[in-house]
Amino acid sequence: MSADMFASLKLVRSDMAVERPRLALAIALACGSVLLDMVPIWAVYRLTQMLADGSATAESFWQLTALTALAIPIGYFLFGLATRNSHIVAFNLIYALRQRVARRIARIPLGALGSMRSGQAKQTVISEPERLELLVAHALPEGSSAFFTWVIVTGWLFYVDWRMALAALLFAPISFVLMGFAMKVSMGEAEEYQKAQGTLNGAVVEHLAGMPAVKIFNPGGADRSETAAAIDNLAQMQSEMGRAFVPLGGTFYALILANITLILTVGVWLLHAEQITLATFLFFVILGANYSAPLMRLFELFHHFAHISLSASALQSILDQPEQLDTRAVLPLQNHDIVFENVSFAYDSANVLEGVSFTAKEGEITALVGPSGAGKSTIATLIPRLFDVTEGRITLGGHDTRDMGLDQLMDAVSFVFQDPFLFTATVAENIRYGNPDATDAEVEAAGRAAQADDFIAQLPQGYETIIGPGSQLLSGGERQRIALARAILKDAPIIVLDEATAFTDPDSEYEIQQALGVLTRGKTVVVIAHRLHTIAGADQIIVIDHGKVQETGTHSALLAKKGAYAELWADHTAARGLGLRSSAHAE
């Protein structure tokens, strides 16, 4: 698929209206700068004419010298002003674009970005908008001034002598056509090239994050890794694009610089025939030889322009995502019961849930169990509308969750993930994320309720210790308890727990279970459980398999049925009693 050369401009079109006057000023200043750059050439041409016809005087020489000496610094000054204004426009547009992207990401379903790897996300949200700086701060003003220069110089050449002007211009249209074909051919696989760049970014970030596993399981096998494959793929695509570009593009650069050969040939012939003066000949040698300079700059910028526009497609795909429905309504809730009514859900075209119906009552614990991949986590994510159902509906307090404002829904739900995310911030700031207005005393009270106060006190700066995704200060169980403290501080009426004790040791599990008792008291609780002994006392256990509800009941009732749950329980208890045995005792 070929690239849309104007995609980058379309991307900032809505924000350009405010910046258009300043950008126009930058372009005007840049054009004024290049006009002043031509003053020395005109001065040399004029002086040569006066020397040829004998009218040159010391006074005229000093006048032309002074004019040149004045034009050069003023030209640089105008160029500096143009650059200053164009950069202000560029940074304002980048800021506005990032704001729009951030707002759109916050308003689209989580699934719209769920498959994007961290490296690709960084490239899309951070790196790609940065490329607009080259487009707006340089390509537009410098490209406009280069085109303006080319038009002025072309007119000037024809004004002086049309025959020499034709000699200077003859190769230009041929070069234009060749460059157009070269770019069309080389950019034919533009979309695939952009995807390859995103894949490489994602693979590199993932490779670095998984370096311990790489060192242990794949030493010396880096050449077989996904990162190596991504590098090879991108290199191959770049080579193919280069090979497609060079024959025509190389010819363009050769022809655009070859006009001096025609200028010298035609000029010497006309000079010998006494049809032009020496001053005219020198004028074309000086100015005509540099005639290609603005064209070279123009095409160089246009080439960058094409690549920047190519990068804009990923950003535009995010901005084109439809926003998640948000009524912004605040509805009166009868209670905090969650009811799934014949709910089905599909990722793209693959069904994950089919006809799921159950009720999670206020003040009770509802546990979701089943084999891996059964759809338990998907059910949990549908409650706070991280995704929207494909069919059926989910109600909260008697209202369809899609009829509620997202703010009201999010305020009503706390979600404790299996692998909690901690921001690069202090412990207190991470806990306070559950309630930004909480006092220090309330934060510490939440820490105590989450059984986290003791280990937090042992940290270098206590609650002011910086932690985050890469921090090695905390164990899995400690990170889990900080996430629980965050949920306790939020004090939402609905709690969703995605296997909150999955990665903890027995001591941490006991402490977390105590914290969960504080967190869930009187709430509507939905628990995803793999360790079945942790939910044996749940008010309701729902067995999920292949996206459907298989069984519902209490622990004892389900065991009595001797169905799917009884089988899961038997496997669970057998696994808990199974220990590692040495090979000597294996027989």
pLDDT in tens, the chain (587 residues): 445 556 677 777 778 888 889 999 999 999 899 888 888 888 887 888 788 777 878 888 899 899 999 999 999 999 999 999 999 998 898 888 888 887 787 777 765 565 555 555 666 666 667 777 777 887 778 878 888 888 888 888 888 889 988 888 887 777 777 766 766 666 656 666 666 766 776 667 666 666 655 555 555 555 456 677 777 887 887 787 777 777 776 777 777 777 888 888 998 999 888 898 888 888 888 777 677 777 777 776 666 666 666 666 667 777 777 788 889 999 999 999 999 999 999 877 778 999 999 999 999 999 999 988 889 989 998 998 888 899 999 999 999 999 999 889 999 998 887 778 888 889 999 999 889 999 999 999 999 888 888 899 999 899 999 987 666 678 877 888 898 899 889 999 999 988 755 555 566 666 667 767 777 788 899 999 877 888 888 899 999 999 999 999 999 999 999 999 999 898 888 876 655 455 444 44
**In angstroms, rounded to a whole number, what is the distance separating the alpha carbons of residues 442 and 449?**
10
Report yes or no: 351 and 549 within 8 Å, Cβ to Cβ.
no
Read off the pLDDT of residues 329-341 as tens digits, 9 standing for 90 and up: 999 999 999 999 9
- DSSP letter string, 181-221: HHHHHHTTTHHHHHHHHHHHHHHHHHHHHTHHHHHHH-TT-
What does DSSP assign to residue 51?
H
CB half-sphere exposure, 36, CA atoms < 13 A: 19
Question: Hunting for tokens 């605040």 — which residue is that?
Answer: 330
Which of helix, strand or coil describes residue 170? coil
- DSSP letter string, 262-320: HHHHHHHHHHHTTSS-HHHHHHIIIIIHTTHHHHHHHHHHHHHHHHHHHHHHHHHHHHT
User: How confident is the model at residue 462, as a pLDDT?
Assistant: 92
Phi and psi (nearest 5°) for 236? -65, -40
Instruction: Give 346's strand partners.
Output: 351
- State the pTM of this model: 0.66
With CA atoms as reference, report the closest residue to 323 among 165, 108, 540: 108
User: How confident is the model at residue 219, as a pLDDT?
Assistant: 54
Residue 291 neighbours by CB under 8 Å, 6+ apart: 150, 153, 154, 157, 168, 169, 172, 259
